[in-house]
């Protein structure tokens, strides 16, 4: 019996939602360990579309325990809205099947306001944030002034925490000429929402430890992608948390020995939302075609995604950074009919060859991709459920990717539907 960590190996939007849903059928527990409601997972189950931002993907499956770990920053208002939307679709969300870590930090309206103001002040140097307050909430967590879920239990404690937090933010607001926040109004809002949030609060680390001792299968669900990691990604065009597999341990309170298999979700081409370097980006008809056929619009923001050729250098780096043991290759069908295909196998920077993505902002912005051409295929792969259903050229493309990224393909997704999946290796069996 193995526990599995699922992470994105590119810049997010790799199709984690479907794969996590597919895996959750075998899992007993699904736990989110980082990010906030800036991440969006789209699931299609029996024709019903579920767009989840905070709720773990396992919530749509009866009999599964879904958990939000302490590494996630939680907007309580967004969470309650999402719960209500899922209940309208017939999904049960109760303290029996859904828990949030009592030590998870909260995102408040003041965090959203600060993030929007900061992004506007950057002008042409915008990072491309979602404006949901994720970054400022993590800043307050590290600054030891965050309000956590457990603070909602006691009015006296909550009042002290609110005063500290609001005092800090008002200093910033005075500096930029923004209206100050009322500590009393903030306190009253939190007191009003506390009874709706607290029933879900639990010592998640303890729950997970007990589940592990019972031999339950745990699925750790990451958000965004490794190249958006605040340490290892294309800084500063990154998210505000660690997105590598190692974050799953700190973000849930469970040790490294708990994870037996790391699965990297990998799109058959490359996309990115927002600003930042993108070596293989296409500005031509093929790039537009990838975006249209792949329906490349952000689940949360609706923003159009930038599209480009598969970057094996970047994915190989992600494999090393997170100890990825196998990948789930998604959206292979989007490449149907495009020939020839290109795969990035290295970078050129002023005549110097790089077989990895350097940390330097300047180099990342100016490197040029070195491509290897590979034959495409004309026949459709959409809906394929076994290798025999795939064109020979598609199989060759998959094998070449495996060689270049130095990791095997464990799962292949050929449409948004859960059943349209080729299983090569069961991550739960190591």
pLDDT, tens digit, 9 for 90 and up, residues 203-239: 999 999 999 999 999 999 998 899 999 999 999 999 9
60 pLDDT higher than 70: yes
Give the up-direction half-sphere exposure of residue 280: CA atoms within 13 A in the CB hemisphere. Answer: 29
Structure-token pair, residue 224: 């965004």
Across 371-390, average pLDDT? 95
Tell me the two tokens of residue 286.
């093929």
Residue 298 has pLDDT above 70, yes or no: no
Q: What is the pLDDT of residue 115?
A: 81
- What does the pLDDT read at residue 411? 96
Catalytic residue among 13, 229, 311, 420: 13
Active site residue 229: no
Does the pLDDT value for residue 332 go beyond 70?
A: yes
- How far is 162 from 156, CA to CA, in rounded Å? 10
The owner of tokens 């339950």 is: 216
- Residue 188 bears catalytic tag: no
| Residue 57 pLDDT class (50, 70, 90 cuts) | confident
In this predicted structure, the answer to whether residue 126 has a pLDDT above a threshold of 70 is no
pLDDT at 38 over 80: no
- Is residue 199 very low, low, confident or very high in pLDDT (cuts 50, 70, 90)? very high
Catalytic residue of the set 37, 41, 50, 111:
41
- The percent of residues in the chain predicted with pLDDT above 70, rounded, is 96
Nearest to 221 by CA among 16, 385, 428: 16
Which residue(s) pair with 263 in the sheet? Answer: 6, 326
Element (DSSP H or E) covering residue 48: strand 48-52
Q: Is the pLDDT reported for residue 252 higher than 80?
A: yes
* Predicted local confidence at residue 244, as pLDDT: 97
Q: Is the pLDDT of residue 46 over 90?
A: no
Give residue-wise pLDDT tens across range 150-164: 999 999 999 999 999
The per-residue pLDDT of the chain, averaged, comes to: 92
Token code pair at residue 48: 């019903």
116-125 pLDDT, tens digit per residue, is 777 777 666 6
Dist. CA 77–CA 107, nearest whole Å = 9
Q: Are the beta carbons of 136 and 88 closer than 8 angstroms? A: no
The pLDDT of residue 300 is 59
Q: How far is residue 36's CA from residue 286's CA, in Å, rounded to a whole number?
A: 33
How much is the pLDDT for 127? 67
Point out which residues pair with 308 in neighbouring strands.
270, 281
Higher pLDDT: 378 or 21? It is 378
Is residue 128 pLDDT above 70, yes or no?
Answer: no
């Amino acid at each position: 019996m193995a526990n599995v960590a699922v992470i994105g190996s590119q810049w997010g939007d790799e199709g984690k939602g479907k794969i996590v849903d597919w895996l959750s059928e075998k899992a007993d527990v699904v736990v989110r360990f980082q990010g906030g409601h800036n991440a969006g997972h789209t699931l299609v189950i029996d024709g019903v579309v579920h767009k989840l931002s905070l709720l773990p993907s396992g919530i749509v499956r009866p009999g599964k325990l879904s958990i939000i770990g302490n590494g996630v920053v939680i907007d309580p208002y967004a969470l309650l809205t999402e719960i209500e939307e899922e209940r309208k679709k017939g999904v049960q969300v109760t303290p029996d099947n859904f828990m949030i870590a009592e030590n998870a930090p909260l995102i408040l309206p003041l965090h959203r306001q600060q993030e929007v103001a900061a992004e506007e002040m950057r002008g042409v140097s915008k990072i491309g944030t979602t404006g949901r307050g994720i970054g400022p909430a993590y800043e307050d967590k590290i600054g030891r002034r965050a309000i956590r879920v457990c603070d909602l239990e006691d009015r006296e404690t909550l009042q002290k925490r609110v005063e500290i937090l609001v005092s800090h933010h008002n200093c910033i607001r005075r500096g930029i000429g923004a209206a100050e926040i009322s500590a009393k109004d903030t306190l009253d809002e939190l007191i009003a929402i506390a009874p709706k949030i607290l029933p879900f609060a639990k010592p998640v680390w303890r729950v997970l430890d007990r589940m592990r001792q019972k031999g339950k299968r745990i699925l750790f669900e990451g958000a965004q992608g490794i190249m958006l990691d605040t340490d290892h990604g294309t800084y500063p065009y990154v998210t505000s948390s660690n997105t590598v597999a190692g974050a799953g341990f700190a973000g849930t309170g469970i040790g490294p020995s708990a994870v037996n298999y790391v699965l990297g979700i990998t799109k058959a081409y490359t996309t990115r939302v927002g600003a930042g370097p993108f070596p293989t980006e296409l500005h031509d008809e093929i790039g537009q075609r990838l975006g249209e056929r792949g329906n490349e619009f952000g689940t949360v923001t609706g923003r159009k995604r930038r599209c480009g050729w598969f970057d094996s250098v970047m994915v190989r780096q992600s494999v090393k950074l997170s100890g990825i043991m196998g990948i789930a290759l998604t959206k292979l069908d989007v490449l149907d009919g495009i020939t020839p295909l290109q795969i990035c196998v290295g970078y050129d920077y002023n005549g110097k060859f790089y077989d990895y993505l350097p940390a330097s902002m300047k180099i990342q912005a100016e490197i040029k991709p070195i491509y290897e051409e590979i034959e495409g295929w004309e026949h459709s792969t959409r809906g394929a459920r076994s290798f025999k259903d795939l064109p020979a050229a598609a199989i060759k493309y998959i094998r070449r990717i495996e060689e270049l990224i130095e990791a095997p393909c464990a799962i292949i997704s050929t449409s948004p539907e859960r059943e349209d999946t080729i299983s090569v290796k069961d991550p739960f069996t190591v």
